[in-house]
Amino acid sequence: MSALPSLAPLAAVADNLLAARELMAFTLGFHIILACVGVALPAMMLIAELKGRRSGDAVALDLAQRWSKAAAVLFAVGAVTGTVLSFEMGLLWPRFMERWGDVFGTGFAIEGIFFFTEAIFIAIYIYGWKRIEGWRHWWTGVPIVIAGVGGAFSVVAVNSWMNQPQGFRLDDAGNPIDVEPLTALFNPATVYEFPHMLLAAYMVVGFGLASIYAIGMLRSPARRGERRHRLGLLIPLTVAAILTPVQIFVGDVAARGVADHQPAKFAAFECIRQTGPDQTEWIGGVCTDDGVKWGIGIPGLDSLLVGFSTDTVVTGLDQIPDDEEPPAHTLLHLAFDAMVGIGFALLALGAWLAVAWWRRRDIPETRWFLRAVAVSGPAAVIAMEAGWIVTEVGRQPWIVNGLMRTEEAVTGAGGLWFVLAGAIVLYAALGAVSVAALRRVARRQDPGADVGVGLPYGPPAPLAPGREERR
């Protein structure tokens, strides 16, 4: 019995670690969807406005204005959830920030500059719909797109640094000195993590926006002939479909980068137990100490994908110390499979659209196509979230790969489970308010109203009865 009190601090640390990780995972998983919208939706509305300006298309201009209002709503919500994450970095992981903040802090500082730039130009863009004429208005949206990409780069570069830290030396006490912030930001993992996340953002928004119009066309067959719904589906779906094969290529490069620089993560999500050549690629299944059970195995494919030869030696978990193995191998494996599988399913959807457009210059008219598009939005979100599970859970037990364990960084403050419960309630309310606001934006114009009235270069408002237009 005398040994029990000595275990209490360890139990408290373990409980805090789990609570802190769950809280961070929940808030980050919520925020990252909004971050994707902030990065990619401005590009969609600029494409719609570009079409409207070039061809005098009032429907395209109307879509751009509607999407800009939705972007403003979601940007405001994202500002709230992003601020929460900023506080969590310091409150949940104080030792991490204290020790390593000087190394990666530049990335967050740069992200703050891009954030405020994006906020300023979103306000100008929306305010300028009836006040800034023609192409001048379109150009006010360009900085929004640039700022979104720059902000994404800054944040992803910090995460990449956590996976492959560099840009410093360690003193005798193990603290970083001689910091080189730019070297830290432009670490080897940034090369593939940033484009992978950027393309994921555009796919989430592209397929997600298209799915909204597909659902509307399924619910009301009359909308299938409305140009607003058809154009609202076609613009984002085309962008997402074009980027999907690029994303698959980047993902392949990223997987090889992980195999080279983070072998423990790669071995965990591929369920590789023994180091060696001719490694089997497993699709699905459960990872066990005796190998993968109930999965579909393709002999030699894993080695072929890593080194373009079945003779490529791939590191297995037998080379990783037990206390440095990532947890939840089956979760990692299934998350990786979900990400890849959904990616190829979206590639097939894009090919379906491409063939139909090549043949008839129109979208497929079958209900099955609309159903597939309707599912593609949630599927893209699931793939993106699954990718973050692979990235974050796969790095464990390290918060800075190979240099600082997550349990060393966590706060000693109690009550984190109550904070998590409060966060769930708060974010549920925030999500409900966001959906209500977006629905109100979507319904502000009556279905029978003249599309584009009041917009720059849109159709003029009808004259009152009995009045003649002055020429």
What pLDDT was estimated at residue 453?
42
Sequence-ordered strand ranges (E) for 193-239 = none
What pLDDT was estimated at residue 243?
95
Q: Assess contact for 300 and 280: CB atoms under 8 A.
A: yes
What confidence category does residue 42 fall into, taking pLDDT thresholds of 50, 70 and 90? very high
**Is the predicted pLDDT of residue 289 greater than 90, yes or no?**
no
What pLDDT was estimated at residue 444?
60
Instruction: List the domain boundaries for the chain.
Output: 234-411
What pLDDT was estimated at residue 56?
83
What pLDDT was estimated at residue 171?
86
CA distances from 446 to 214, 383, 437, 463 (A): 19, 35, 17, 19
Element (H, E) at 15: helix 4-55
What pLDDT was estimated at residue 225?
67
Determine the Cα angle at 204 with ends 23 and 287, to 5°: 60
What confidence category does residue 436 fall into, taking pLDDT thresholds of 50, 70 and 90? confident
**Is the predicted pLDDT of residue 205 greater than 80, yes or no?**
yes
**Is the predicted pLDDT of residue 114 greater than 60, yes or no?**
yes
What pLDDT was estimated at residue 450?
39
Q: What values do phi and psi take at 282, rounded to 5?
A: -105, 130
Q: Assess contact for 168 and 159: CB atoms under 8 A.
A: no
Rounded mean pLDDT of the chain?
A: 84
| Token pair for 34 | 């909004």
What pLDDT was estimated at residue 360?
83
What pLDDT was estimated at residue 146?
93
What confidence category does residue 222 fall into, taking pLDDT thresholds of 50, 70 and 90? low
**Least confident range of 209-213, 306-310, 417-421, 454-458:** 454-458
Strand 281-283 with 176-177, pairing: unpaired
Contacts of 452 (CB under 8 A, 6+ apart): 58, 59, 61, 62, 458, 459
User: What is the DSSP code string of 144-171?
Assistant: HHHHHHHHHHHHHHHHHHHHS--S-EE-
**Is the predicted pLDDT of residue 471 greater than 80, yes or no?**
no
What pLDDT was estimated at residue 281?
87
Element (H, E) at 292: strand 291-293
* % pLDDT > 90, the chain: 28
Find where tokens 């990692």 sit: 332
Q: Count Cβ atoms below 10 Å from residue 126 Cβ, excluding itself.
A: 15
pLDDT (mean) for 6-23: 68
